Structure 1
């Protein structure tokens, strides 16, 4: 909208006045949008007095850019529009004063002013709104990008936490990073602290010459530079630097854009894990968000590698602990299963070295009488070591035995002239630390075990406890061997004494039987001869039973074995020459304790004697059966004859027998079953004969039976 030339001249002459009013208004409001040249109000005033036809376009462009800039700065549109309105009102008020005598010119000028204000308002609003829309789109894009990168990080983290192979995990990580950042190459190097080199472990693209064996020294290439400096490197064109270009071209592709970050584990101590790089064929500047993304990936890789290292370390510790426990169990089993002391101690000295990480070991035994230590077993020393003797209080081993406490020392051999290691300078030069542990059983020191190491450091508490465990095992083995030797000697002595006692008892019984037999042959009386024959039979029965106990397990004997011994004696002493008597001892696996064997043998002897003298008295031939069985924890022993008749009665151990007409045999039985807490009976009854047809009818026989409680005899476990 144009105004007349006269009005333009008036406005031009009043421009200073109008600008002054704007400055005063700016001072009153406290802002600066109208106080200086180039401000909104100033430009609005210039457009009002300017004759240029393109003024509207310049004004619209300015206010649209101002609105866009204002929006990016986070300003509020209504405050900017309010300021523009304020300065428009100030200019309008000042124009009324300038053009008060020219009402038509005033109306025309105010119309132009308000036209330019409207134009500025629309342009300012349009620019502000357009910028806000762009900002919203940008924020939406950033949110989507952030969400996508978080998803990528979740995938990388999930792969890192999975149980797949580490190299495969790193390959997937490199692929994910390259796809997320739209780069051509992502590579991951690991740092070897011992060799001080970087080794390529993963890449999503082309591999350099050497493939996965590609290595870089610290400071070599951009990866070596980052590893050496420990800080990121972002380069728009890596080929512009000769050092960086050598690594960039090793992939057979010209990579320009470069971002390389160190992979560092931030634990108790910072530790370099490796380097991660992303590269693009085109020159490229990486944003802060992209750098942050790769930093997070580097952190995930660092944690993954550290967790893997800790897992391997824990797994190795667990395997070592299991191996230690298995070794200790094996040594304990050997100690429990063998009495070969040399074998056990050699195993202990060998395993103590292997499990403690030392190189040599020596096990000493104390001679309490001479107060000297001598070597029982050793590992890692020459054969002459077995002849070494150390006094108590001398050397580390002697002092350990003297105090009864474990001791550790480093480089003590040079200062201790009494140390036996001085005799072998080659060993002395190779040993720098020693651990000595006493061998103790019930507070009694039996010796010590010493572990020698080439390292100048003390063993850890776990290693020391392991050696103490082996020391305890060795002490138990030595004590077991000593106790076994004492028991063996005692057993040999008892065996000699028992053989001598058995020999004397047997000789005495044979002498008594011989005297009685001699007396029997000299007497003329048949009654006395019969009585002496019975006595000889009893004595020889005792001798046979004693012989059974002397040759078998002295703790017990079977009933059928006892019966066979007695039958052999009775057949030769009691069977009349004019009679044919058959004896049958049926199998009976019942075991009788030794304290009852002699008494039972005498009872069986008397029952057989009774059967021969009385049961078969009027017969020229007959059969005698001896049976034994167990029923309801009672032992039943029967002597059965096929005599035609016989008395029937029962004799208990608590009967006195006073005034009875019983003979010597029944008196013996009564006294003996009293010691067995049993009963004796003699009866006629029907029985089934063994080895006869099942359908054969039972036959009547005379049965002499003794029954008594069975006392179980338990064999001690140590004698098995």
Structure 2
């Protein structure tokens, strides 16, 4: 903004006085290059032609990048201009026309600088957002690469194939020209090249390096990371850099592959090379370190697996299976799904063909089929077995596992006995009770076509699985019971709120009838306020009757109250518009009723007092959250209460019933109430002056979740 020569001529003689006023705001002398100093120089220095807008844009940009608050910067800027206006008013007290002209220029300058700061702040936020987005994308891409490496390490059995894949992924992720992986032979004490994503030395994979030879040998010997911008500058490193043929590699990052077990063991070396000099970043080093750790674990696991006999591998497989089954069961609380998982996985766990879950009836006399796998649904659908009969009944009766071979032919109580086709296919059965805290829920039976008993280890695995399955069934049942109980509670509470709403509506109707019959204006006015309060409570209970009874949104409550207050208290000859700003804050039901009464009183005061001498106006209801506190404001554009009234309100003296209600109610929520006059902190509504003052009634109380 170019300042007029006349304005500069008028302000320059008073530069020292204006400087003093700005110093009083800062509390210290003006620092050269500070906002206040630049502003003063632009207004008073003869050689300054305009205010450097770019400086204030950069201030906003720097503020955004540093995580500062825009409103703090704007408030500081406003304080500077307020101090200048105050000082100029005193200087030009005898020249009001000149003062008014300068104030107009200052206001225009203030708006332009505030816009510059805001514009720079928005640019900084956008730049930071773009930068964070770029970093997040890079991290997500790198995490995906690690997941692919980990996935192939856990699934592939061919070590060379796995290492080739890892070398390819690392080179692509780091945009390098070559990634090579050497494995260390402890007996021969040499490194052997096992994988690359590019050329192989001398066209062969049998490339050997001794400890200390080349950069890979150096890393293996020293056991630490090597970073080199240009390997060709070191003769020892250059030999390996040129070994791959063609153009030599220069930028080097090489890391040892070490397994950290009970004792550190060198597995090999992984190297990343580029044809141009390159400095690798710490993030890139970390990525390769994680990759090296994955390779070490993969190779060590392979070594242990090769040393393990068939029995140990079988046990590992069985344990992995039961762990997977337990994880699947624990991941859901749907009882039908849990039962289906149990019957299906029990078959896979034991190597059998069929399974069945029997549930003990409430009378604890009979068992019925709850779920099955591999059996005829019609056959087992209406099946009932007495406790003590058949393998399942005896297992429930004794509470111990029961295992038998070809018992179906002699046991006439067994349901398989009556099905010759099924009994010819099944030869052995294992029944395990489902117990939770010594309480038997039923049993699970596993049927196999093999004529052999399970080993003690296999049987213990099935028993462990059955115990976890019983807990899962019990949890699923408890969850269903709790869910049904909560649904019933919700329905009852909604019905309670509905009835309370109806009763309050009846009370409001009686009060309205009494108001119409009374001849006293004062009594009629009191009854009208009472009707409004009762109907506000009724509207709140109506809201709770249709929404989640455990909580309510602030803006929903405010809309209900505004509707009631507008209908009951707004004079027909006045045009009062209401604006409820969106506020997603959710408060517990205990506070909903209290807050409804508080908002009702604040809106009523705004209509009755704020709009007393106004034919039109606006009432804004706004909610926000700050440091765990809910802040609710009712703002009106009326003339508002006098300064004495605000002070008396703050002191608690000579207050009316409405203010007294607000203060006592908000104390119950651990909050406080305030009443003040001032400008809106944001852009005012359409039709309102930017510098217009508003009456702001505010309550602030802590949010106590779950109460």
Indicate the TM-score class for this superposition, using the shorter chain for normalisation.
Answer: 0.5 to 0.7
Distance 1:697 1:350, change over 3 A: closer
Work out the CA distance in 2 between the residues paired with 1:666 and 1:611.
12
- What's the counterpart of residue 396 of structure 1? 391
Between structure 1 and structure 2, the one with the greater Rg is 1
Q: Out of 686, 690, 699, which is 1:706 matched to?
A: 699
How far residue 573 of structure 1 moved from its aligned partner, in angstroms, is 0.4
Q: Out of 474, 495, 501, which is 2:469 matched to?
A: 474
Work out the CA distance in 2 between the residues paired with 1:437 and 1:475.
11
- What's the counterpart of residue 605 of structure 1? 600
Residue pairs, 1:543-558, within 5 angstroms: 543-558=538-553
Residue pairs, 1:296-315, within 5 angstroms: 314=308
Regions of 4+ moved over 6 Å: 310-313
1:359 aligns with 2:360: no
Distance 1:590 1:698, change over 3 A: farther
Distance 1:682 1:492, change over 3 A: closer
Distance 1:340 1:587, change over 3 A: closer
1:375 aligns with 2:366: no
Unaligned runs of 5+ in 2: 1-187, 189-303
How far residue 440 of structure 1 moved from its aligned partner, in angstroms, is 0.7
How far residue 617 of structure 1 moved from its aligned partner, in angstroms, is 1.1
How far residue 313 of structure 1 moved from its aligned partner, in angstroms, is 10
Distance 1:352 1:314, change over 3 A: farther
- What's the counterpart of residue 435 of structure 1? 430
Work out the CA distance in 1 between the residues paired with 2:610 and 2:426.
92
Q: Out of 518, 526, 538, which is 1:523 matched to?
A: 518
Give SS of 1:381's match: coil
Distance 1:473 1:687, change over 3 A: same
Q: Out of 579, 586, 592, which is 1:591 matched to?
A: 586
Work out the CA distance in 2 between the residues paired with 1:597 and 1:585.
17
Residues 579-600 of structure 1 deviation map (CA, whole Å, 9 limit, x = unaligned): 1112222333333332222112
How far residue 604 of structure 1 moved from its aligned partner, in angstroms, is 1.4
Work out the CA distance in 2 between the residues paired with 1:585 and 1:348.
53
How far residue 322 of structure 1 moved from its aligned partner, in angstroms, is 5.4
Give SS of 2:352's match: coil
Distance 1:647 1:362, change over 3 A: same
1:639 aligns with 2:637: no
Distance 1:609 1:385, change over 3 A: closer
1:446 aligns with 2:441: yes
- What's the counterpart of residue 346 of structure 1? 340
Work out whether residues 649 and 659 of structure 2, in 8 Å CA contact, stay in contact via their aligned partners in 1: no
Residue pairs, 1:436-515, within 5 angstroms: 436-515=431-510
1:619 aligns with 2:628: no
How far residue 390 of structure 1 moved from its aligned partner, in angstroms, is 1.3
Q: Out of 671, 684, 708, which is 2:677 matched to?
A: 684
1:581 aligns with 2:576: yes
Distance 1:464 1:417, change over 3 A: same
Work out the CA distance in 2 between the residues paired with 1:311 and 1:508.
75
How far residue 340 of structure 1 moved from its aligned partner, in angstroms, is 4.4
Residues 88-129 of structure 1 deviation map (CA, whole Å, 9 limit, x = unaligned): xxxxxxxxxxxxxxxxxxxxxxxxxxxxxxxxxxxxxxxxxx
Query: TM-score, normalized by length of structure 1?
Result: 0.51
Give SS of 1:669's match: helix
How far residue 629 of structure 1 moved from its aligned partner, in angstroms, is 2.8
Work out the CA distance in 1 between the residues paired with 2:384 and 2:398.
18
Work out the CA distance in 2 between the residues paired with 1:534 and 1:696.
32
How far residue 630 of structure 1 moved from its aligned partner, in angstroms, is 3.0
Work out whether residues 651 and 670 of structure 1, in 8 Å CA contact, stay in contact via their aligned partners in 2: no
Work out the CA distance in 2 between the residues paired with 1:700 and 1:589.
27
Give SS of 1:420's match: coil
- What's the counterpart of residue 559 of structure 1? 554
Work out whether residues 575 and 581 of structure 1, in 8 Å CA contact, stay in contact via their aligned partners in 2: yes
How far residue 641 of structure 1 moved from its aligned partner, in angstroms, is 2.1
1:669 aligns with 2:662: yes
- The 10-residue stretch of structure 1 (582-591 or 499-508) with the greater mean CA deviation from structure 2: 582-591
Work out whether residues 329 and 341 of structure 2, in 8 Å CA contact, stay in contact via their aligned partners in 1: no
Work out whether residues 358 and 444 of structure 2, in 8 Å CA contact, stay in contact via their aligned partners in 1: yes
How far residue 639 of structure 1 moved from its aligned partner, in angstroms, is 1.9
- What's the counterpart of residue 232 of structure 1? none
Work out whether residues 652 and 680 of structure 1, in 8 Å CA contact, stay in contact via their aligned partners in 2: no
How far residue 504 of structure 1 moved from its aligned partner, in angstroms, is 1.0
Unaligned runs of 5+ in 1: 1-157, 159-309, 716-720
Distance 1:521 1:342, change over 3 A: same
Work out the CA distance in 1 between the residues paired with 2:625 and 2:605.
24
Q: Out of 559, 565, 570, which is 2:565 matched to?
A: 570
- What's the counterpart of residue 250 of structure 2? none
Distance 1:425 1:314, change over 3 A: farther
Work out whether residues 498 and 541 of structure 2, in 8 Å CA contact, stay in contact via their aligned partners in 1: no
Distance 1:611 1:472, change over 3 A: same
Work out the CA distance in 1 between the residues paired with 2:336 and 2:568.
58
- The 10-residue stretch of structure 1 (323-332 or 477-486) with the greater mean CA deviation from structure 2: 323-332
Residue pairs, 1:274-285, within 5 angstroms: none
Work out the CA distance in 2 between the residues paired with 1:495 and 1:637.
28
Work out the CA distance in 1 between the residues paired with 2:685 and 2:516.
42
Work out whether residues 611 and 641 of structure 1, in 8 Å CA contact, stay in contact via their aligned partners in 2: yes
Residues 538-587 of structure 1 deviation map (CA, whole Å, 9 limit, x = unaligned): 01111112222222233333332222221111111001111111222233
Q: Out of 308, 313, 322, which is 1:328 matched to?
A: 322
- What's the counterpart of residue 159 of structure 2? none
Residue pairs, 1:186-335, within 5 angstroms: 314=308, 320-321=314-315, 323-335=317-329
Work out whether residues 433 and 458 of structure 1, in 8 Å CA contact, stay in contact via their aligned partners in 2: yes
Computed over aligned residues only, the root mean square deviation of the Cα atoms, in angstroms, reads 3.4
How far residue 363 of structure 1 moved from its aligned partner, in angstroms, is 1.9
Work out the CA distance in 1 between the residues paired with 2:649 and 2:426.
84
Work out whether residues 502 and 538 of structure 2, in 8 Å CA contact, stay in contact via their aligned partners in 1: no
Work out the CA distance in 2 between the residues paired with 1:588 and 1:433.
66
Work out whether residues 369 and 384 of structure 2, in 8 Å CA contact, stay in contact via their aligned partners in 1: yes
Residues 292-343 of structure 1 deviation map (CA, whole Å, 9 limit, x = unaligned): xxxxxxxxxxxxxxxxxx9889576566555544543443344344454344
How far residue 527 of structure 1 moved from its aligned partner, in angstroms, is 1.6
Work out whether residues 647 and 683 of structure 1, in 8 Å CA contact, stay in contact via their aligned partners in 2: no
Work out the CA distance in 2 between the residues paired with 1:326 and 1:453.
22
Give SS of 1:583's match: strand
Distance 1:687 1:381, change over 3 A: closer
Work out whether residues 329 and 342 of structure 2, in 8 Å CA contact, stay in contact via their aligned partners in 1: no
- The 10-residue stretch of structure 1 (613-622 or 418-427) with the greater mean CA deviation from structure 2: 418-427
Residues 491-516 of structure 1 deviation map (CA, whole Å, 9 limit, x = unaligned): 34323322321221111011011111
Work out whether residues 555 and 582 of structure 2, in 8 Å CA contact, stay in contact via their aligned partners in 1: yes
